[in-house]
Amino acid sequence: MGMPKNIVIGSHVWVGDPELVWIDGQIINVNGEEAEIQASNGKMVVANLSKLHPKDMENPEGGVDDMIKLENLHEPGVLHNLATRFKINEIYIWVALL
């Protein structure tokens, strides 16, 4: 299968977590099909490359009001955007092309 071209050493990614569902971090090493990730919560995580999702680093701090604005439309990105919008009491979002 090989390493996805958009996930390399230094990439910011989402990785599954048994307690928090998804955590974000940065890839610090790749060994074959596995990546070593320094998570933002301090954990060191090793995960299969096929289980990682790229993290949008260009999104505004308050999230986006239209999910189509997410560079990568995947489960961790959508959930993170929803949680971000909820925290600032901007709960209404939509998904549409104009």
Mean pLDDT score of the chain: 90
Alpha-carbon span 23 to 37, nearest angstrom: 10
The pLDDT tens digits of the residues spanning 37-82 come to 999 999 999 999 999 999 999 889 999 999 888 988 899 999 999 9
Find out whether 51 and 34 touch, Cβ atoms under 8 Å: no
pLDDT band at 95 (very low <50, low <70, confident <90, very high): confident
Question: Residue 90: CB partners within 8 Å, gap ≥ 6?
Answer: 62, 63, 65
How far from chain centre, in Å, is Cα 23? 7
Q: Which domains does the chain have, with CATH numbers?
A: 12-54 (2.30.30.360), 56-98 (no CATH)
In angstroms, the CA 82 to CA 71 distance is 15
Q: pLDDT grade, residue 3 (50/70/90)?
A: very low
> What single DSSP character describes residue 13?
E
Q: What does the pLDDT read at residue 5?
A: 56
